[in-house]
Structure 1
């Protein structure tokens, strides 16, 4: 038995195809261009965010008066001294009091206002633009105007209270009254801003959900609590976090509200001195203790983080249960 061999010569392998320059550029662009696009943010954050944050932590471990002397390492002494400082805790109570009085009504009013602007109103664009006017107004101008409105002798608020038979209030010398006055100022300035954020999120909700709920007989209030609020939960969490950061860093409004020699102290007896004002008082004029002021800043950072996490957990729980009835059934007829 003979075996016939293939007499054809072997086929030579094709030479490898080298990728062209345009192909290599396209691969490089697809893989690395996203990182190049976002690199400027991280570079700026590293220079103006991360480095100052780390440097402030280093400074908080030193004694430094900023007047030409070299910083002296003292460890955690600034923090232990700060935790025993009565004036610091007084400022913390003021900050939390103003934050609660201003932020909670502000977000509720913004949610109601956004729901109102989301309806078919005449001149809706004009109303939506009008609610943003307080936010673009100068903070200094707003603080001066409200300082006059809440004046003790000739303020319009005390004049209205006098018409109602209520004795005038010394808004700048009474602790709780100064909280209310400053909170009113903050609410007036920021409610419209949060309302527009909520309005933008409301307009992204499909209208057929409301139409189906209306066919099922759900009232407007039921639609709001069972459809709008649950679907707005991510936006509400965002607004709560932003309001928490801004509310706990309050400085300009109480500083200008108490115009005069005791402005940085929040009044003669520190009636409305916030943590940021206390930090400025110690880090700069009149004490120039930069290490102690840096310790105040880091404890304020920790306070903001704790309050923000607590608020997010509360909002998540409220948003989860907003669309359910007792027994676990979804909201139907209202």
Structure 2
């Protein structure tokens, strides 16, 4: 099988260097690489061209339209029987394509997604963010997991699809923000078999700071409402959990403030505050213990608690804000 690897690129010259180098180490070599520079102010042409003696790699530059349309630009120029979509901030393990081959032979997927993991070279914050995005104590466990909630939707940091899927769907219809979920829904609606290949994981760098991570996950929360407006049936109760968590934190903060400010608070306020604090403390302890066990680091474990709270609050506020603005107020 011949694969076409499609990589949209926007102002990430260092990351594309690491990604291309990891592709030179692949055990299975029957693939081409198509890099689509999407209007970057930091172009990576020279970096990409340095790999032309080690990879069948093609570089294209176009005006900025968003990663969804950049991938379509690559699809139109691809020669492969099967397309692999990567984000530019990943590192590919040497056995990746062999794992894909084995998974496709076993499950006969027309399209698939794979999970992500933290590379040993990642910073402690990047490892913490990776934990948060894959943890069963956050919404991250829904993705890249055999026990995901509802129908599995591949994500574009690690996605594969047959040429037949592309020919029928014509690729991405959204430029950015939940464009991969929308694409996955249309794949399934078109009758294609879509599933997870759990062995076909990649190392996903994601964001380097909690501020960047907050902005990204807030964007994800808004994107879930975008999907709801297109496909109302796709909104599940689990998608609202970060918003419930965020509102619960706000209420608990107000209850604690009321106890500090008003000595004569009613007894049920004391009880409610005690129960809320106890439940939040238990959640935090369980999160910390699990994170330390999974990452094998106390430092990363503590940072993982910060990452989890950041993810839940950012997603929750993005979800709530977009729901109020775009659904209730119809702006």
Please report the TM-score for the alignment, with normalisation by the length of structure 1.
0.20
Structure number with the bigger relative contact order (C-alpha 8 A, sep ≥ 6) is: 1
More helix by share: 1
More strand by share: 2
Q: Which entry has the higher C-alpha Rg, 1 or 2? A: 1
